[in-house]
Amino acid sequence: MIVMKFGGASLQDAEAIERVIEIIRGRLERRPVVVVSAIGKTTQGLLDAAEGSAAQNSKSALRAVSALERRHQDEVAKLLKGSALAAVSKAINHNFRELEKLLEGLVILGTVPPRGLDRILSYGEILSSIIVSGAMVDRGLPASQIDARRFMITNDKFGAASPLFEDTKGLLSTRVRPLLDEGLLPVTQGFIGATRGGATTTLGFEGSDYSATIIGAALDAEDVEIWKNVSGLMTTDPAIFAGARTVPRCSYAEAAELTRLGAKVLHYKAIHPAAAANIPVHILNSRKPAEAGTAVGIKGAEAITPFKSITYIRPVTLLNIFFDDQAGTASLLEASKLRELTALLERREVSPLITIVSGMRALLAIEAKYLEAASTALMEELARIGRIETERRRAIVTLVGEGSNGRIDIAARVFTAIKEIEVGLILRESSSTATSIVIDQADVERVIALLHAEFFDRAES
- Residues at the interface with ligand ASP (CB under 6 A): 7-8, 37-38, 43, 124, 190-191, 205-208
- Whichever of 158 and 191 has its CB closer to ligand ASP, that residue is 191
- Whichever of 72 and 308 has its CB closer to ligand ASP, that residue is 72
* Residue 7 makes contact with Mg ion by CB under 5 A: yes
- Whichever of 43 and 311 has its CB closer to ligand ASP, that residue is 43
Minimum Å distance from CB 266 to ligand ASP?
A: 10
Binder to Mg ion among 2, 4, 34, 37 (CB under 5 A)?
Answer: 37
Question: Considering CB distances under 5 to 8 angstroms, the limit depending on partner class, which of Mg ion, ligand ASP, none binds residue 163?
Answer: none
Minimum Å distance from CB 125 to ligand ASP?
A: 6
Question: Considering CB distances under 5 to 8 angstroms, the limit depending on partner class, which of ligand ASP, Mg ion, none binds residue 190?
Answer: ligand ASP
- Whichever of 9 and 360 has its CB closer to Mg ion, that residue is 9
SS3 per-residue string spanning the chain:
CEEEEECHHHHCCHHHHHHHHHHHHCCHHHCEEEEECCCCCHHHHHHHHHHHHHCCCHHHHHHHHHHHHHHHHHHHHHHCCHHHHHHHHHHHHHHHHHHHHHHHHHHHHCCCCHHHHHHHHHHHHHHHHHHHHHHHHHCCCCEEECCHHHCCEECCCCCCCCECHHHHHHHHHHHCHHHHHCCCEEEEECCEEEECCCCEEECCCCCHHHHHHHHHHHCCCCEEEEEECCCCCECCCCCCCCCCCECCEECHHHHHHHHHCCCCCCCHHHHHHHHHHCCCEEEEECCCCCCCCEEECCCCCCCCCCCCEEEEEEEEEEEEEECCCCCCCHHHHHHHHHHHHHHHHHHCCCCCCEEEEECCEEEEEEEHHHHHHCHHHHHHHHHHHCEEEEEEEEEEEEEECHHHCCCCCHHHHHHHHCCCCCEEEEEECCCCCEEEEEEEHHHHHHHHHHHHHHHCCCCCC
- Whichever of 262 and 306 has its CB closer to Mg ion, that residue is 262
- Whichever of 169 and 269 has its CB closer to ligand ASP, that residue is 269
- Whichever of 274 and 444 has its CB closer to ligand ASP, that residue is 274
Minimum Å distance from CB 454 to ligand ASP?
A: 34
Stretch that binds Mg ion, among 31-39, 98-106, 137-145, 371-379 (CB under 5 A): 31-39
Binding mask 8-27 for Mg ion (x = CB under 5 A): x-------------------
Question: Considering CB distances under 5 to 8 angstroms, the limit depending on partner class, which of Mg ion, ligand ASP, none binds residue 210?
Answer: none
How many residues lie near Mg ion (CB under 5 A)? 3
Stretch that binds Mg ion, among 34-42, 155-163, 175-183, 308-316 (CB under 5 A): 34-42
Stretch that binds Mg ion, among 2-10, 46-54, 78-86, 347-355 (CB under 5 A): 2-10
Minimum Å distance from CB 206 to ligand ASP?
A: 4
Minimum Å distance from CB 191 to ligand ASP?
A: 4
* Residue 352 makes contact with Mg ion by CB under 5 A: no
